[in-house]
Amino acid sequence: MEVLRTHIDTRSETYRQNREGFLEQIAFLNEQLALVRAGGGEKYVKRHGERGKLMARERIELLLDRDSPFLEVAPLCAWGTDFALGGSVVSGIGVVSGVECVITANEPTIKGGSINPYGAIKTGRTMEICAQNRLPMINLTESGGADLPFQSTIFVPGGRGFRELTRRSAERIPTICLVFGSSTAGGAYVPGMSDYVVMVKGGAKVFLGGPPLVKMAIHEEVDEETLGGADMHSRVSGVSDYLAADERDAIRIGREIVAQLNWKKLGWTKQIPVEEPTYDPDELLGLASIDIRKPFDVKEVIARIVDGSRLHEFKPTYGTTLVTGYAHIHGYPVGILANNGILFSESSEKGAQFIQLCNQTNTPILFLQNITGFMVGSRYEQGGIIKDGAKLINAVSNSGVPHLTMMIGASYGAGNYGMAGRAYDPRFIFSWPNHRIAVMGPEQLAGVLSIVRRQAAERAGQPFDEAEDAMVRQMVQGQIEKESYAFFATARVWDDGIIDPRDTRTVLGITLAAVHSNVIEGTKGYGVFRM
């Protein structure tokens, strides 16, 4: 494979401006992540600790293998809303006893770990990751169930989580539940439907209805321990399989359970030497555009994330606004589709062909998405941009190999679809802080609406108010800028998280390891391609 050559001038003004802009955005990102890690705030964290209990992230840290990474999923879920940042749940992928697992932990310092509407969305995404990638699931449970004032938006979709737990078991994907505290109503169904259950003596309390509800429903007076204590469930009901002496003991038992699963990965197991990129990943901050209206050479990004900065480029002189080729990341083979400008007919056709080739060889695909859309205009409509764009979307839609998507700039219009946006079910999708997503750019969208209003006034024979139009355009543009913001998107779990660009290679390595827990198999056929 050819080693990519760099043409970046690290002393240029453009490089300096990009780097400063990214560092500012990363600083803000880290501030928001620090707020998530603070849980319910100093008061509730202190109270939790005084009870001799561990924080959610402390439980995860003890569960993971020493010095192994934890790739958190949707850490900024609910950002900018009235709900707790992070959705009152911590989720991600980590290695436990040598096995990649999906781990979810309720945040008990936020309303007792109750699930809010955004937490329900995040939990659903976590279950999806577990199913698609065939990863054992470990729930660290301490939850009051649904946040009752918002039950109308949680109850119906929340039931899917319990169904998915039982489906994972049917698919022979282990589900493990460690119960640390009070787990009521919906919180009780998680251990009830898991393969393995560990409860902490004197801490875990699991019941469908607590003492107050029991008293109201059947007039029975009963204490929590008798009704749903860990000792009772371990000795009488059988809901618990293991009785732990304390929280650390529960984590020890959980690690032992994973160790005896006899778990085997079904994906690619060939070992090849891992080469670090020739170029410094730190340079990603200067070479990528902080202003998404300004293009940059995506090959410079590829050179800093793939092994040895090597890329075997496919059709390098055809459809050059889309870069396609083969590479390795942390020793795993990948096919890469990367935007180097707007999508024309030629680049769309090239992309569709390359996706088919990756399916022929069972090769996962990485999409580096920085796209303003497909080309418009009479010349291109007559040239068949619709059918050629449809070929790319068809290929993406029906591809059977895992897709990984990295949003490294703009994501506008149908270009988002052709480059495996969230609606096209990539196994994982992460964003850089400069990412923007919308039907089209704010200026273009506001301008289109202005033209429509002007034409409507002309048809009605009415005067067009230019001052009012300018005000409306400004308002619309501001709205779209707000709604296309990377943090707005991640709050709604349109991606799996915003990352520091310098962590791109690490994140891709973890996700590639995860997808290879399952079989990697390309599709056997495609739908009709309109030629």
Q: How far apart are alpha carbons 487 and 481 in whole angstroms?
A: 11
Please check the confidence at residue 328 and state whether its pLDDT lies above 80: yes
> What pLDDT score was predicted for residue 164?
87
Q: How far apart are alpha carbons 370 and 410 in whole angstroms?
A: 5
152 band by pLDDT with thresholds 50, 70 and 90: low
384: amino acid identity, one letter: G
Please check the confidence at residue 145 and state whether its pLDDT lies above 80: no
380 band by pLDDT with thresholds 50, 70 and 90: confident
Q: How far apart are alpha carbons 330 and 529 in whole angstroms?
A: 35
185 band by pLDDT with thresholds 50, 70 and 90: confident
Could you give the 3-state DSSP secondary structure of residue 192?
helix
Using CB atoms within 10 A of its CB, is residue 33 exposed (0-12), middle (13-18) or buried (19+)?
A: middle
485 band by pLDDT with thresholds 50, 70 and 90: very high
Nearest-5° Cα angle at 499, 494 to 501: 125
Other beta carbons less than 10 A from residue 144's beta carbon: 21
Please check the confidence at residue 59 and state whether its pLDDT lies above 80: yes
Q: How far is CA 355 from the centre of its chain?
A: 22
Domains of the chain plus CATH, in order, are: 14-259 (3.90.226.10), 281-438+486-515 (3.90.226.10), 442-483 (no CATH)
Please check the confidence at residue 479 and state whether its pLDDT lies above 70: yes
> What pLDDT score was predicted for residue 148?
62
Please check the confidence at residue 438 and state whether its pLDDT lies above 80: yes
Average pLDDT over residues 40-68: 92
> What pLDDT score was predicted for residue 530?
61
Classify residue 405 by its DSSP letter.
Answer: E
Average pLDDT over residues 399-423: 95
Q: How far apart are alpha carbons 172 and 321 in whole angstroms?
A: 44
Give residue-wise pLDDT tens across range 248-307: 999 999 999 999 999 999 988 777 889 999 999 999 999 999 998 899 999 999 999 999
Weakest mean pLDDT among 91-105, 185-199, 371-385:
371-385
> What pLDDT score was predicted for residue 153?
72
Give the β-pairing of 403-412 and 365-371. Answer: parallel
Note whether 409 and 435 are within 8 A (CB).
yes
Give residue-wise pLDDT tens across range 211-257: 877 888 888 888 888 888 999 999 999 999 999 999 999 999 999 99
Higher pLDDT, 97 or 117: 97
528 band by pLDDT with thresholds 50, 70 and 90: low
127 band by pLDDT with thresholds 50, 70 and 90: very high
Give residue-wise pLDDT tens across range 334-373: 999 999 999 999 999 999 999 999 999 999 999 999 998 8
Weakest mean pLDDT among 52-66, 130-144, 370-384:
370-384
Mean residue pLDDT of the chain comes to 92
Note whether 412 and 438 are within 8 A (CB).
yes
Q: How far apart are alpha carbons 267 and 518 in whole angstroms?
A: 5
Please check the confidence at residue 100 and state whether its pLDDT lies above 70: yes
> What pLDDT score was predicted for residue 374?
87
Read off the pTM: 0.93
